[in-house]
């Protein structure tokens, strides 16, 4: 099969983060600072990505502002010709740092939102005072006119606040609002019961987003990611494995998606041991699930296979025990009953479930 060039790259600059959100998509085994790529190596990666065809670079984490060299990294990405999007909680972005980021060519900021009140947001983020600091940063971003997307991860504790979330996005001057219902990867798998919204909340959210989308056309754009446990068909995760984007973990491991390391038999290459071009086109992990040949007959004979590519490989591994299987979220999957069972258990336990916060491992 012919392999297209990647369009986007997610650079997880660090796993360090002042927040401790229980839905974090980072892996359970987080990298410490000592494993992080240095400034020069990241800059090389950005140059190679641009040569490979990448257009958009998402500077992410953890909290990318935990890197003291964030401005240098942004400059390097901009000079490589990449469109730069900073994905941040806002903590660590002082006015002076925002000025510097703007001066070196930062194109866009994606600010996370844990809740619409200090009580809720600080409880979900596990960080006291975080909401007030985030609102101050949002005002600084608005004052500079830097294009802003608000990224609200939604779940059973904040989905009822969706209308206020939309109003807040407008007040903060966001051009886009991501209403992203939590996906169960990374730390979220530890918090399934504490996070899974009800079907009624999900249906209400769909109605509210559809109404707001029509009302606010031209003012605020929406991306709505519904919780896939209630869906009939899965999402086209990553737009298809190894077809549109790549992720680099803080230590340089190059991944086809953020959760790929949960598939234990895959061999991942590291940058700079190999070039990004070698890894993208010839890497064993990238070629493992490209296309649809690995999928079972259920998918290969299905009219939707060109739309969703059989769903998410990591979810297929986690729920069906086989990364090549039909994503069990699909109602046609022979493993779909496992999703139904998980859903029922999570909903039954939800009221009493406590958060397991994302934490870095203790040293020594």
Task: By CB under 6 A, name the binding residues for ligand SF4.
Answer: 233-234, 298-299, 302, 304-305, 308, 310-311, 326-327, 330, 332
What's the closest the beta carbon of residue 300 comes to ligand SF4, in angstroms? 8
Q: Which does 257 bind (CB under 5 to 8 A by kind): ligand SF4, ligand FES, none?
A: ligand FES
Measured over the CA atoms of residue 273, residue 279, residue 284 and residue 288, the dihedral's sign is positive
At 138, list the tokens.
């949002």
Q: Which does 310 bind (CB under 5 to 8 A by kind): ligand FES, ligand SF4, none?
A: ligand SF4
Q: Which does 302 bind (CB under 5 to 8 A by kind): ligand SF4, ligand FES, none?
A: ligand SF4
What's the closest the beta carbon of residue 197 comes to ligand SF4, in angstroms? 23
Contact at 8 Å (CB) between 176 and 150? yes
Residue 39 vs 298, nearer CB to ligand SF4: 298
Residue 92 vs 311, nearer CB to ligand FES: 311
**91 half-sphere exposure, CB direction, 13 A CA radius:** 22
Chain contacts with ligand FES (rule: CB under 6 A): 185, 237-238, 241, 257, 259-260, 312-314
Residue showing tokens 């959100």: 21
Residue 222: Cβ within 10 Å count: 16
Residue 92 vs 283, nearer CB to ligand FES: 283
Q: Which helix (H) or strand (E) holds 326?
A: none
CA distance 299 to 312: 13
Residue showing tokens 């001057």: 173
At 106, list the tokens.
């930062």
What's the closest the beta carbon of residue 46 comes to ligand FES, in angstroms? 23
What's the closest the beta carbon of residue 294 comes to ligand SF4, in angstroms? 12
Write phi, then psi, for 145 (nearest 5 degrees): 70, 25
At 145, list the tokens.
């006119």
Residue 124 vs 312, nearer CB to ligand FES: 312
Residue 113 vs 314, nearer CB to ligand SF4: 314
What's the closest the beta carbon of residue 328 comes to ligand FES, in angstroms? 13
Helices H / strands E in the chain, number of each = 14, 9
Residue 124 vs 323, nearer CB to ligand SF4: 323
Which of these, 212, 196, 184, 21, lies nearest to 114 by C-alpha position? Answer: 21
Which of these, 132, 118, 61, 41, lies nearest to 360 by C-alpha position? Answer: 61
Residue 34 vs 293, nearer CB to ligand SF4: 293
Q: Which does 238 bind (CB under 5 to 8 A by kind): ligand SF4, ligand FES, none?
A: ligand FES
At 260, list the tokens.
């790929």
Contact at 8 Å (CB) between 155 and 196? yes
At 227, list the tokens.
């919780």
Residue showing tokens 């469109």: 83
Which of these, 37, 16, 79, lies nearest to 248 by C-alpha position? Answer: 37
Q: Which does 312 bind (CB under 5 to 8 A by kind): ligand FES, ligand SF4, none?
A: ligand FES
Q: Which does 259 bind (CB under 5 to 8 A by kind): ligand SF4, ligand FES, none?
A: ligand FES
What's the closest the beta carbon of residue 312 comes to ligand FES, in angstroms? 3
Residue 242 vs 350, nearer CB to ligand FES: 242
- Cis peptide bond N-terminal to 272, omega within 30: yes
Q: Which does 326 bind (CB under 5 to 8 A by kind): ligand FES, ligand SF4, none?
A: ligand SF4
What's the closest the beta carbon of residue 262 comes to ligand FES, in angstroms? 8
Helices 130-144, 118-125: axis angle to 10 degrees equals: 100
What's the closest the beta carbon of residue 259 comes to ligand SF4, in angstroms? 17
Q: Which does 313 bind (CB under 5 to 8 A by kind): ligand FES, ligand SF4, none?
A: ligand FES
What's the closest the beta carbon of residue 305 comes to ligand SF4, in angstroms? 4
Residue 15 vs 157, nearer CB to ligand FES: 15
């Amino acid at each position: 099969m012919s392999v297209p060039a990647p369009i986007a790259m997610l650079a997880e600059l660090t796993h360090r983060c002042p927040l401790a959100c229980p839905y974090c998509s980072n892996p359970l085994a987080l990298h410490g600072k000592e494993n992080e790529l240095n400034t020069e190596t990241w800059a090389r990666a950005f140059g190679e990505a641009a040569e490979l065809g990448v257009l958009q670079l998402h500077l992410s984490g953890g909290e990318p502002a935990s890197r003291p060299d964030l401005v240098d990294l942004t400059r390097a990405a901009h000079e490589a010709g990449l469109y730069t999007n900073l994905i941040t909680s806002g903590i660590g972005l002082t006015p002076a740092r925002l000025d510097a980021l703007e001066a070196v060519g930062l194109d866009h900021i994606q600010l996370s939102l844990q809740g619409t009140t200090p009580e809720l947001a600080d409880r979900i983020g596990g960080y006291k005072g975080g909401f007030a600091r985030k609102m101050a940063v949002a005002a600084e971003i608005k004052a500079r006119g830097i294009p802003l997307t608000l990224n609200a991860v939604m779940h059973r504790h904040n989905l009822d606040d969706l209308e206020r979330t939309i109003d807040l996005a407008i007040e903060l001057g966001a051009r886009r609002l991501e209403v992203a219902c939590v996906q169960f990867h990374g730390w979220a798998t530890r918090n399934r019961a504490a996070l899974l919204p009800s079907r009624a909340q999900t249906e209400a959210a769909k109605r509210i987003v559809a109404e707001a989308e029509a009302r606010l056309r031209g003012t605020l754009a929406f991306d709505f990611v519904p919780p896939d446990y209630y869906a009939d068909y899965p999402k086209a995760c990553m737009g298809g494995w190894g077809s549109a984007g790549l992720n680099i973990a803080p230590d340089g491991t190059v991944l086809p998606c953020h959760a790929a390391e949960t598939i234990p038999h895959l061999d991942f290459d590291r940058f700079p041991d190999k070039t990004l071009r070698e890894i993208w086109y010839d890497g064993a992990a990238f070629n493992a699930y490209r296309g649809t040949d690995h999928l079972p007959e259920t998918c290969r004979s299905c009219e939707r296979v060109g739309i969703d590519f059989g769903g998410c490989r990591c979810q297929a591994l986690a729920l069906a025990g086989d990364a090549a299987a039909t994503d069990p979220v699909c109602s046609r999957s022979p493993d779909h009953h496992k999703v139904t069972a998980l859903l029922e258990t999570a909903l039954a336990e939800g009221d009493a479930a406590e958060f397991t916060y994302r934490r870095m491992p203790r040293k020594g």
